[in-house]
Chains A and B, each alone.
Chain A
Amino acid sequence: MYKIAKENLASLFALINETKELYLPVEVAGQTNFAAYTAEANVDLDTLKTVKSPKDVFFPQSENLYTCNKEDNKLKITPEKLVDAPFVVFGMKACDIKGIEVLDRVFLSDPVDSFYAARRANGIIVGLACHEPEESCFCKVFGVDCTEPAADVATWMIEGELYWKALTEKGEALTESVKALLTETCESKVEAEKSAVKAIVEKLPYSNLSLEGWNGNVLTEKFNDALWNELYKPCLACGTCTFVCPTCQCYDIKDYNTGNGVQRYRCWDSCMYSDFTMMAHGNNRNSQMQRFRQRFMHKLVYFPANNDGMYSCVGCGRCVDKCPASLNIVKVIKAFSEKGDK
């Protein structure tokens, strides 16, 4: 285990950035999101949750796939170059890292998504343990330990010092490259921090949320439940929950007319939107109730059914914090429990 004083982090970031792209939480106009490091960036490691999850480091909100151009009456197709240089994501929380595990299930299973796979192969994740979890957090429910980010390097911020521990080969290599700035230390402070934060997690109001009754085998029963007709009503049909979510993975592929060619791009889609999964025959979900139901059924029933019981929610609580109508997955789970639907 190593450590580095908080005031030396700027040098650490600059050193990493000398050889690799570095993404970390940056404050812009009052809000903190993951962004590329620059010397001028206002790095913010204090905000617990970035507004958007860092998933777009691996799965960008919008990205080009290829470009078609007309050249001498011939069509020239230029595929977008895959990421081929190592980069570092610094400060990912345990829940967001679990989110990447969920995305891996989708994008790294056959047929492998080459854009995502290239980023995953080149990405080095430095996780940052949570220090002061908030009331909207419920990662414990999904088996996430916020004091132990399962990254390439795990870090803890304790009393103005960042403790650093490599957990994988990639992490060892990164540690080696910045060793000049780190000092060796023992783990006692980290152990004390971990038990203190775990004690806080126990006190969080959502930590004991029960997922009883939600699994891959309840499709028909849950799908047909009349409760959905009530639950969806305040929903504004905006995409906030899906776009701040670390596990929402749906995307749309579209063509952009550049004048003399076409740019084929993909962008995040939202099951809340009216053109979601629109097909030639029209749309298979034409009411907001159906779209609303889709989101929760996907996270709590369809995904576990296809992924060995793994839920596609990690309990980060962003939807709890951000839904304009104060709806969220916790309220949905509770509404079913209250109804006695266990």
Chain B
Amino acid sequence: MQELITRAKELLANGTVARVLGWKIGDMPYNPEPAFFETVESLDKFVYNGFCGANLSKYMIEASKLEGKTLVCLKPCDSYSFNQLLTEHRVDRDKAYIIGVGCKGKLDIERIKKTGIKGVIAIGGAEMTDACDTLAIDTIYGEKSCSYNDGMLERCHVCKGKEHKIYDELIGESRDTCDKERFAEVERIEAMSPAEKFEFFKAELSKCIRCNACRNVCPACSCRKCVFDSTKFDSAQKANVDSFEEKMFHIIRAFHVAGRCTDCGECSRVCPQGIPLHLFNRKFIKDINEIYGEYVAGAEAGSRAPLVSFTTEDAEPSIVNERGSK
């Protein structure tokens, strides 16, 4: 982290960048927040550790409108989102100075707490210089520990790899964290009967409180004004009525980001009700891979996604229909 701060200070001081977009130390061991740093002194509050899960790519939409370059710290998975935003002309490459930061897997305090740990005062073992195998957690109720992997976000267990897909320079080491089959959960749901599937999604989606955090954090949801925020028609974006959001909102959103979702996992990270929203998107990714051939959104800026490029080899609609009836 020190190397990162030193470099950021240097680039800010010599005028290469006008500001730094990173994470600011929180007031709890686990709550750093995304932040813009505009002075060398303010960077003393910069932090980069296991709790910096927030994907900063989307903040670059606003940063692209500002004077001068913004130094942005992107983790490997965040770089896919940045590329996707570039493809969609939502961010300006010339306005970004990208430092690809190493990643040893990002932690989720909710997962740590699910292991029964409460009253967290301090957490050791989450720094980038740590081996990231065990977290030593000091709580009001005594000293506890948790394996680093048990505290990791779901997305880190199915990591796409620690290679940055776009950057100006790289700082920091990474650690391979992929220890689960990416599509296993999707396959488990595919194997369910329609009634079981319905029950599964009904239980999960009935928890939705229409806070729209999943949409607002999503780098693929970059419309200037979301259709659900329109006051011109009855989209009822705030009303928490079972019949609507259970069946519609999340499904419409998944369709809208299909082929553009990089599976960054932010939707599930931010959901206050722990709804595994990424499963919808991952189902689409799996289907696209199977129907049109392997495609990774954001792996390459400017790539043509299967859903927006026609080839004569494309699957016939009947094939898609057949699969849909399963």
Contacts and interface: CB of A to CB of B under 8 A. Distances in A.
Same complex: yes
Interface of A: 28-31, 33, 48, 51-52, 61-62, 132-136, 200, 203-205, 233-234, 236-240, 242-244, 252, 254-257, 265, 267-270, 273-275, 278, 320, 322, 324-327, 330-331, 334
Contacts of A62: 239-241
Complex A-B, nearest 10 residue pairs according to Cβ-Cβ distance, in ascending order: A324-B270, A238-B213, A326-B31, A267-B239, A61-B240, A236-B216, A326-B33, A234-B34, A240-B211, A239-B211
30 contacts: A28-B203, A33-B273, A51-B207, A62-B239, A62-B240, A134-B119, A135-B119, A135-B121, A135-B139, A135-B140, A136-B28, A205-B28, A236-B217, A238-B213, A239-B209, A239-B213, A240-B209, A242-B211, A243-B210, A243-B211, A243-B272, A252-B238, A267-B238, A268-B240, A320-B28, A320-B31, A322-B272, A324-B54, A324-B270, A325-B54
Contact of A240 (B31, B236, B238, B272): B272
Nearest to B62: A233
Contacts of A29: 203-204, 206-207, 274-275
Contact of A254 (B204, B209, B236, B272): B236
A196 to B, nearest CB: 12
B28 A31 contact: no
Interface string B190-227: 00000000000001101101111101110000000100
Nearest to A335: B27
B31 A30 contact: no
Nearest to A236: B216
B269 interface: yes
Contacts of A133: 119
A146 to B, nearest CB: 13
A332 to B, nearest CB: 11
Contacts of B273: 31, 33, 51
Given A135-B121, A325-B34, A28 B209 contact: no
Contacts of B212: 238-239, 273
Interface in B269-326: 269-270, 272-275
Nearest to B212: A238
Interface of B: 26-28, 31-36, 54, 59, 118-121, 139-141, 203-204, 206-207, 209-213, 215-217, 225, 229, 231, 234, 236, 238-241, 269-270, 272-275
Nearest to A327: B33
Nearest to A267: B239
Contacts of A324: 54, 213, 216-217, 269-270
A174 to B, nearest CB: 29
B119 A132 contact: yes
Contacts of B234: 254-257
B229 A273 contact: yes
A205 B216 contact: no
B26 A326 contact: yes
B62 to A, nearest CB: 9
A125 B34 CA distance: 40
Given A135-B119, A236-B216, A327-B33, A33 B28 contact: no
A31 B273 CA distance: 6
Nearest to B58: A236
Given A240-B213, A254-B239, A265-B239, A234 B35 contact: yes
Contacts of B36: 233
Nearest to A233: B36
A88 B241 CA distance: 23
Contacts of B28: 135-136, 205, 320
Contacts of B34: 233-234, 325
A237 B26 contact: no
Contacts of B206: 28-29
B27 A243 contact: no
B141 A244 contact: no
Nearest to B204: A29
A61 B34 CA distance: 30
Given A240-B211, A240-B272, A132 B239 contact: no
Nearest to B206: A28
A336 to B, nearest CB: 13
Contacts of A274: 225, 229
A239 B238 CA distance: 9
B113 to A, nearest CB: 8
B210 A239 contact: yes
B33 A52 contact: no
Contacts of A273: 212, 229, 238
Contacts of A244: 209, 211, 272
B50 to A, nearest CB: 14
A256 B236 contact: yes
Contacts of A237: 216
A84 to B, nearest CB: 23
A315 B210 CA distance: 23
A268 B27 contact: no
Contacts of B27: 205, 330-331, 334
Contacts of A33: 207, 273
Contacts of B207: 28-29, 31, 33, 51
B192 to A, nearest CB: 15
Contact of A31 (B217, B270, B274): B274
A52 B240 CA distance: 13
Nearest to B226: A274
Contacts of B119: 132-135, 200, 204
Nearest to B240: A61
Contacts of A269: 238
Contacts of B274: 29-31
A29 B208 CA distance: 11
A237 B229 CA distance: 12
